[in-house]
């Protein structure tokens, strides 16, 4: 192409023009044309293309190579992507950036098969895993251990007995402390369970070391915060990791004020690499400041939603169920906010212009969310608020119908289903499980699905999420045909959940989610076609390029 600067991002090599050279300066303001084997636009008018042009952070043209080069002009830079599939920017609709940053630097207990393996990892903890003199980590899941019971203080071993140790369960709804940490927190046999929380106890009444849901606050009050340097480094690492796995955006579900202020600084300076749709932490006292400040719109940072937690997690039996747990008679889980307090917070944030996103796992919690939101809608007359139900894991058929019929968004996580499937039915029994992780039922009811991972509870790897959505199987292909296979999503439905659905859930469907002229130039180049390729290929697929607002934020072979 005469006059075009050509860069190759094919298998194994790429070339960048050195900054400051005359060639780079000459084309600095020219469009860039990306050419690929296939571009999936998710635009019904032109669903597939071979090239797209980008200028000033927007899509300029999409079509055949010849059409796009003609639209871009002779001075356009051309990037030959080779044998890849380009898709609109992938967004994780429910993640936790600060939590991911901590997970990347702390003790990782995911995949441990025994308490002995846990102790070994604790003893090899990196220096980055300390906050003050406390050792922190996360990822344990008693369902994966040979004992399949909650751990105790004694299970930590003697090696770290003088060091306060705090380890979050994989779902973030239970915290395991050793004796030194219990002492720092002042938790004894006489400490009462807080409202919406449980101090798990040994047969004699002493605390076992595990705190569930609101009881975790007893330890959080004395746990040192990360230093400023730690906080910045962790957040940088989290954002870089997200770009590396193909995310152009993240909906951060419950952002603390400290993290939000830091992202505001980076966004203003133009150094924020991804789009972040932040949900204010509506659970803590920081909600007062968020209500005072109101919604925020920056360059790549938006805050227009609030995150509320209504119940706990299914794995730790904190999810609020209408009837008792099938594997723990008499226990119905926990409501983390009273119905009146939840309604009051919903009203306060809606009145201030926020979208409400509520964590609801159990059927009792989901019913309460819908009842409350419908009353709020009736009182205010606002029908287009797009309030979100985060997780929506266990629902009655009636509530699934109400979810879809009333314009609510189902923010669901495909890998939760494949992680929970070995034991979920034990928790709720064969009848209630029919309304669990029921994605096709939700779609049939009219609900928009916004897909995510809930990282760091699950990995933020989008290809793994697409695989789980399409198969409802683990990485070894089990169970055959998938778990509750009628609820699987097609390849296009899964891709839409991470693109179009995510954009709709953040009021951005006119700006992104598809690749069409005038929309944001957010896109990802993958080594595998997420729609047509055999699902197993997604597990070995690679992200080759991540572009946000026309700017390359990750290139697989960049040095």
Kindly give the pairing relationship between strand 409-412 and strand 388-391: parallel
pLDDT of residue 28: 56
Label residue 244 by pLDDT band (50, 70, 90): very high
DSSP 8-state assignment for residue 194: P
Mean confidence (pLDDT) of the chain? 93
Domain boundaries, the chain: 22-83, 133-221, 228-554
In the predicted model, is pLDDT for residue 4 greater than 60?
no
In the predicted model, is pLDDT for residue 410 greater than 70?
yes
CB atoms within 10 A of CB 176: 28
Tell which CATH architecture fits domain 133-221: Roll (3.10)
- Chain center to CA of 213: 19
Q: Cα-Cα-Cα-Cα dihedral of 195, 199, 205, 206, to 10°?
A: -130
pLDDT of residue 381: 84
In the predicted model, is pLDDT for residue 170 greater than 90?
no
Higher pLDDT, 290 or 29: 290
Label residue 29 by pLDDT band (50, 70, 90): confident
For residues 87-93, give the mean pLDDT: 98
User: How would DSSP label each residue in 86-141?
Assistant: EEEPEEEEEE-HHHHHHHHHSEE-TT--SHHHHHHHHHT--GGGEETTEEEEEEE-
Label residue 291 by pLDDT band (50, 70, 90): very high
**Distance between CA 393 and CA 312 in Å, rounded?**
12
Q: Which of 15-29, 154-168, 207-221, 279-293 has the lowest mean pLDDT?
A: 15-29
Per-residue model confidence as pLDDT tens digits over 308-355: 999 999 998 999 999 999 999 999 999 999 999 999 999 999 999 999
pLDDT of residue 446: 97
Label residue 421 by pLDDT band (50, 70, 90): very high
Q: Which residues contact 373 (CB under 8 A, 6 or more apart)?
A: 346, 356, 358, 387, 406, 408
Label residue 539 by pLDDT band (50, 70, 90): very high
User: Domain spanning 228-554 has what CATH number?
Assistant: 3.20.20.140
Per-residue model confidence as pLDDT tens digits over 362-395: 999 999 999 999 999 999 888 789 999 999 999 9
Label residue 2 by pLDDT band (50, 70, 90): very low
User: How would DSSP label each residue in 297-335?
Assistant: E-SSEEEEEEEEE-B--TTTT-S--SS-BTTBTT----B
pLDDT of residue 468: 98
Label residue 537 by pLDDT band (50, 70, 90): very high
Structure tokens belonging to residue 525: 């180049």
In the predicted model, is pLDDT for residue 14 greater than 80?
no
pLDDT of residue 374: 97
Share of the chain above pLDDT 70, in %: 95
pLDDT of residue 100: 95
Of 301, 294, 296, 403, nearest to 349 by C-alpha is 294
In the predicted model, is pLDDT for residue 22 greater than 60?
no
CB atoms within 10 A of CB 110: 16
- Say whether 460 sits in a helix, a strand or coil: coil
Tell which CATH architecture fits domain 22-83: Roll (2.30)
**Distance between CA 100 and CA 416 in Å, rounded?**
16
């Amino acid at each position: 192409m005469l006059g075009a600067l050509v860069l190759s991002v094919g298998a194994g090599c790429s070339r960048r023009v050195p900054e400051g050279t005359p060639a780079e300066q000459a084309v600095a303001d020219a469009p860039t044309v990306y050419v690929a084997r296939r571009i999936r636009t998710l635009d019904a008018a032109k669903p597939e293309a071979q090239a797209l042009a980008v200028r000033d952070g927007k899509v300029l043209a999409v079509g055949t190579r010849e059409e796009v080069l003609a639209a871009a002009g002779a001075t356009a830079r051309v990037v030959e992507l080779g044998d890849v599939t380009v898709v609109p920017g992938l967004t994780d609709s429910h993640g936790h950036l600060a939590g991911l940053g901590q997970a990347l630097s702390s003790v990782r207990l995911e995949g441990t098969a025994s308490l002995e393996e846990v102790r070994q990892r604790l003893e090899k903890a990196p220096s980055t895993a300390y906050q003050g003199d406390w050792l922190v980590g996360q990822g344990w899941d008693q369902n994966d251990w040979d004992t399949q019971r909650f751990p105790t203080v004694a299970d930590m071993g003697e090696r770290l007995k003088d060091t306060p140790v705090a380890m979050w369960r994989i779902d973030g709804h239970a915290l395991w402390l050793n004796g030194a940490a219990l002492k720092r927190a002042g938790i004894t046999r006489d400490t009462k369970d807080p409202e919406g929380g449980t101090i798990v106890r040994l047969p004699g009444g002493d605390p076992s070391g595990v705190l569930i849901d609101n009881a975790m606050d007893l330890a959080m009050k004395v746990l040192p915060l990360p230093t400023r340097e730690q906080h910045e480094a962790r957040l940088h690492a989290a954002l870089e990791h997200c770009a590396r796995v193909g995310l152009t955006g993240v909906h951060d579900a419950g952002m603390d004020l400290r993290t939000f202020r830091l992202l505001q600084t980076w966004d203003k300076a133009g150094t924020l690499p991804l789009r972040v749709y932040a949900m204010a932490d509506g659970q803590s006292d920081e909600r007062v400041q968020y209500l005072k400040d109101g919604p925020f719109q920056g360059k790549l940072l938006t805050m227009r939603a609030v995150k509320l937690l209504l119940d706990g997690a299914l794995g730790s039996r904190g999810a609020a169920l209408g009837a008792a747990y099938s594997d723990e008679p008499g226990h119905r889980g926990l409501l983390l906010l009273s119905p009146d307090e939840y309604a009051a917070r919903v009203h306060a944030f809606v009145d201030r212009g926020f979208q409400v996103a509520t964590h609801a796992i159990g059927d009792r919690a989901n019913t309460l969310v819908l009842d409350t939101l419908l009353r709020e809608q009736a009182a205010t007359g606002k029908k287009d608020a797009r309030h979100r139900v985060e997780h929506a894991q266990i629902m009655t058929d009636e509530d699934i119908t109400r979810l879809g019929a009333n314009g609510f968004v189902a923010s669901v996580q495909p890998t939760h289903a494949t992680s929970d499937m070995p034991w979920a039915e034990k928790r709720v029994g064969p009848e209630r499980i029919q309304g669990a992780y029921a994605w096709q039922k939700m779609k049939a009811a009219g609900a928009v699905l916004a897909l995510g991972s809930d990282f760091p509870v699950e990995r933020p790897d989008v290809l793994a999420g697409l695989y789980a959505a399409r198969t409802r199987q683990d990485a070894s292909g089990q169970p055959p045909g998938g778990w509750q296979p009628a609820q699987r999503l097609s390849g296009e439905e899964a891709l839409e959940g991470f693109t179009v659905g995510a954009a709709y859930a953040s009021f951005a469907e006119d700006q992104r989610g598809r690749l069409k002229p005038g929309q944001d130039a957010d896109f990802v180049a993958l080594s595998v076609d997420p729609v047509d390729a055999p699902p197993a290929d997604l597990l070995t697929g690679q992200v080759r390029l991540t572009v946000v607002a026309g700017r390359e934020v990750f290139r697989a072979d960049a040095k």
